[in-house]
């Protein structure tokens, strides 16, 4: 990662969290640190893939989705790699993340862009790591 300011807030709620990241995701977030616990108001679903399960965050629901607030670099190449990793299914969008001490931070999160439909598994408690543990699924490996 290019040296420079590391002050762009991101809300990660799934396989970009350091404890769930593997492969390319792990390389992308390795230098960011674990961040702090946070949540956003949205809905969380999971998708099963032959290479593991991955989450999708959807606007428009008043549920609490748990994740981590991390600070990324102001580096266009790193952002382009992040956007490419997430692909066409996700778009980087502004969200209001609340830290565990009640502080509101304007951050960016990757929001699911496809229509909700078959194959989306609701995660009512909004915690993807807990969902994986409860169901015996493994995070996406790529």
Q: Per the domain annotation, does 142 fall within a domain? A: no
Residue 10 forms beta bridges with which residues?
A: 70, 108
Q: Per the domain annotation, does 123 fall within a domain? A: yes
Q: Per the domain annotation, does 139 fall within a domain? A: no
- Of residues 139 and 119, more confidence is placed in 139
Q: Which pTM was predicted?
A: 0.91
Phi, psi of 94 (to 5 degrees): -70, 140
For 131, counting Cβ atoms within 10 Å of its Cβ (0-12 exposed, 13-18 middle, 19+ buried), the class is buried
Q: Per the domain annotation, does 137 fall within a domain? A: no
CATH of the domain at 39: 3.10.490.10
Residue 72 structural domain = 6-132
Tally of domains in the chain: 1
Q: Per the domain annotation, does 58 fall within a domain? A: yes
pLDDT category of residue 137 using cuts at 50, 70 and 90: very high
* Mean pLDDT of the chain, nearest integer: 91
């Amino acid at each position: 990662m290019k040296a420079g300011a590391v002050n762009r807030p991101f809300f990660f709620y799934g396989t970009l969290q350091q404890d769930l990241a593997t492969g390319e995701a792990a390389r992308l977030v390795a230098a960011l640190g674990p961040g702090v616990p946070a949540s956003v108001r949205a809905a969380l679903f999971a998708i099963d893939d032959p290479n593991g399960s991955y989450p999708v965050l959807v606007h428009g629901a008043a549920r609490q989705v748990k994740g981590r607030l991390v600070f990324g670099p102001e580096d266009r190449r790193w952002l382009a790699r992040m956007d490419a990793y997430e692909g066409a299914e996700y778009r980087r969008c502004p969200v209001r993340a609340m830290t565990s001490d009640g502080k509101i931070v304007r951050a960016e999160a990757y929001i699911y862009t496809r229509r909700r439909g078959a194959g989306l598994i609701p995660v009512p408690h909004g915690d993807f790591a807990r969902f994986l543990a409860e169901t015996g699924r493994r995070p996406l490996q790529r």
